[in-house]
Amino acid sequence: MDQSSRQPPAPFSIIGRLKSFRFAFKGIGFVLVTQHNAWIHLIFTGLAVLAGVILHIRAEDWRWLIAAITLVWFAEAMNTAFEYVCDVVAPQYNYAVGRAKDIAAGAVLICSIGAAAIGLLTFWPYLPW
């Protein structure tokens, strides 16, 4: 498509921004309802927040936890989006698409392992040994 056939972007509007939030929340809801691993992330998010509250961790430590939790959720959401795009592009089995989906799932695993390490390092000093 050449530049001349593109429509100009819609002008800024509050209603348009509110709609974009609705679409974003709809996407988050879809991830939560359809992705079993997201349920696991939700459980661990809840446990991390609960532990932080119970152990009265400092603001500096909350920043690390929030960053780790956000990274895992971002990776899970992007993996879900990537899988759905791949399924549209190649509805039949395709080795290369399967490999790409595995790599995206691996990215979620990497983020989850990193988040677990951050959690251990963050909570360790607060535990009553």
Domain count, the chain: 1
Whether 2 is in a domain gets the answer no
Would you say residue 5 lies in a domain?
Answer: no
Any domain includes 6: no
Evaluate whether 32 touches 38 at the Cβ level (below 8 Å): yes
CATH, residue 49: 1.10.287.3610
pTM exceeds 0.75 for this model: yes
**pLDDT by 10s per residue, the chain, length 129:** 556 678 888 898 999 888 899 999 999 999 999 999 999 999 999 999 999 999 999 999 999 999 999 999 999 999 999 999 999 999 999 999 999 999 999 999 999 999 999 999 999 999 998
- Residue 84 falls within a domain, yes or no? yes
Report yes or no on 21 lying in a domain.
yes
The CA distances from residue 124 to 57, 61, 92, 119, in Å, are: 11, 11, 47, 8
Residue 8 lies inside a defined structural domain of this protein: no
9 within domain boundaries: no
